[in-house]
Amino acid sequence: MKIDVHREACCAQDDQLGPLAMSLEVAEQCSLAEFLAAVAAARFLQYSATHTALHCRVAGRPVATVFSPYTLPVRTPEFVVSPATLLHDLATDHRVVFHFDPK
C-alpha cells in the first residue's frame, strides 16, 4: 500500500531545502506502530532544538506523537489510538501528515 507522507518544516532552511513529502510503500497489514518505525527508519522527519515533537494525523485524525531521537531521554511514540491498529483502517485517503503544533 502506498502512503503519501507529509511533514511540516522545522525551520526556514528546512522549508527551502525539504523534502516535505515522500511516498512510502508499506504492507497491507502494516500496523500504526510499524508505520511509524518505517518513517523513522527513512529518516524523513526533521527536528530542531525548539521543535522536538511531531503530531501525526491520519486522514485528519490525531493518532500519535513522535519525538526527536536526538533528545535525552529518548522517548517512544505516544499513541492516541492503539499502536496495533492497521494503517489501512485509518488511512482511507492514503495520506499521513506530521506537524509540530496540535492543530
> Per-residue pLDDT for the chain (103 aa), expressed as one digit of tens each?
999 999 999 888 887 887 999 999 999 999 999 999 999 999 999 999 889 999 999 999 999 999 999 888 999 999 999 999 999 999 889 999 999 986 5
| CA proximity to 53, closest of 65, 62, 41, 39 | 65
Domain count, the chain: 1
The pTM of the full predicted model, rounded to 2 decimals, is 0.91
Residue 73 CB: number of other CB atoms within 10 A? 5
**CATH number, domain containing residue 60:** 3.10.20
Residue 66's domain comprises 2-99
Residue 59 CB: number of other CB atoms within 10 A? 14
Q: How far apart are the C-alpha atoms of 11 and 46, rounded to whole Å?
A: 9
- Phi and psi at 37, nearest 5°, equal -65, -40
E strand spans, 1-103: 2-7, 21-25, 53-58, 61-67, 78-79, 95-99
